[in-house]
Amino acid sequence: MHFDLKDLKLFVCAADEGSLTRAAERQHLSLAAASTRVKSLEAQSGQALLYREARGVRLTPPGEAFLHHARGVLRQVDQLRFDLQEYSGGLRGHVRVYANTTAVTDFLPEILPGFLSNNPRVNVDLQEKPNTEIARGVLDGRADIGIVAGAVDMLNLQAIHFSTDRLVLVAPRSHPFAGRKSIAFADTLDEDAIGMNQHSTLQTFLAQVTEKLGKPLKLRIQLSSFDAMCRMIGAGVGVGIVPESAARRNQEVMGLALIELTDAWCIRERYILVRDQNKLPPYAQSLIDTLCAHYGQSAPKV
């Protein structure tokens, strides 16, 4: 099958608009020409892709699948155009990274400045994503590198272990929990809680845990970084679940008590995900080496 990009754009537009007439207008085509193009797509695929109705069009089941792949192709073309434009301006490399909340807000801001300074002609496109979307993004090529933690379906990608972190309960030193060495997460749910924003990887995970426990967190406020959480906890607003690395960074300044969690899920192994390490460009491999070296690890040789 050979698909023209203009046909794919037309089909996506028709699906978005629910109207072939409006899609034709947006693509600067006559309705007859647009209809012929869509019929050609259907003939090549051997499937009806659209239901034609009095008030417009809607996708058939094969059309839903076609739309998913058409969007992927157009996204890849846009990325290709963007990358080539940057190369023409003297850029040598562009690394797309999908990472979880801890990576984006906690340790990558510490690591990336040195990498970018040592690689002035390399750009990094860093996006925070849920763990499941990180693996899927690497698998389908939207990201070159993924960074995940904890129990994640890695979709048979190559996984490079680079560090281990632990989630801890953080409380003000004046809090009754401050004198405890350890605590179960379930025993904290009656306390006012400080959390990350609802779309963060950690908050999504904790919501899944509390759903199984049948008791929600008593969230007082949700923030966009672990440092902000620690400041709020230090001010006595509540307690929170924070990566130990972030908690220790703020412990003395904010007057925090760190209490170990007895839950098995508090131990979080961190992994770098790639499709094929052998096929990564040198600058992407250099970023992996930098991450591993920061934690005293050696990246596997390829």
C-alpha distances out from residue 277 to 156, 164, 280, 301, Å: 13, 21, 5, 9
Fold (CATH) for 5-86: Arc Repressor Mutant, subunit A (1.10.10)
Angle, CA of 296, 268 and 126, to the nearest 5°:
70
pLDDT at 199: 82
Residue 183 has pLDDT above 90, yes or no: yes
Residue 273 has pLDDT above 90, yes or no: yes
Taking only the tens place, the pLDDT of each residue in 15-69 is 999 999 999 999 999 999 999 999 999 999 899 999 999 889 999 999 999 999 9
Residue 84 has pLDDT above 80, yes or no: no
Residue 225 has which token pair?
Answer: 């970084």
Single-letter residue type at 130: P
Same fold, 5-86 and 91-163+268-294: no
Q: Is 134 within 8 Å of 97 (Cβ atoms)? A: no
Domain 165-267 = CATH 3.40.190.10: yes
Taking only the tens place, the pLDDT of each residue in 212-256 is 999 999 999 999 899 999 999 999 999 999 999 899 999 999 999
Taking only the tens place, the pLDDT of each residue in 136-178 is 999 988 899 999 988 788 889 999 999 998 999 999 999 999 9
Q: Quickly count: other Cβ atoms within 10 Å of residue 271's Cβ.
A: 21
Q: Where are the domains of the chain?
A: 5-86, 91-163+268-294, 165-267
Angle, CA of 110, 116 and 118, to the nearest 5°:
110
Q: Which residues 6+ apart lie within 8 Å of 32 measured at CB?
A: none
> Which residue matches tokens 């940057």?
86
**Mean pLDDT, the chain, integer:** 90
Residue 79 has which token pair?
Answer: 């990325």
Fold (CATH) for 91-163+268-294: D-Maltodextrin-Binding Protein; domain 2 (3.40.190)
Residue 91 has pLDDT above 60, yes or no: no
Which runs of consecutive H residues, i.e. helices, occur in 89-180?
Answer: 101-102, 108-118, 131-139
Residue 301 has pLDDT above 70, yes or no: no
Give the N- to C-terminal CA distance of the chain in Å, as an integer: 36
Q: Tell which phi-psi region holds residue 290, choosing left (phi > 0), alpha (psi between -120 and 50) or beta.
A: alpha
Note the pTM of the prediction, 2 decimals: 0.65
Taking alpha carbons only, the member of 49, 57, 53 closest to residue 16 is 57
Task: Tell me which of 86 and 283 has the higher pLDDT.
Answer: 283
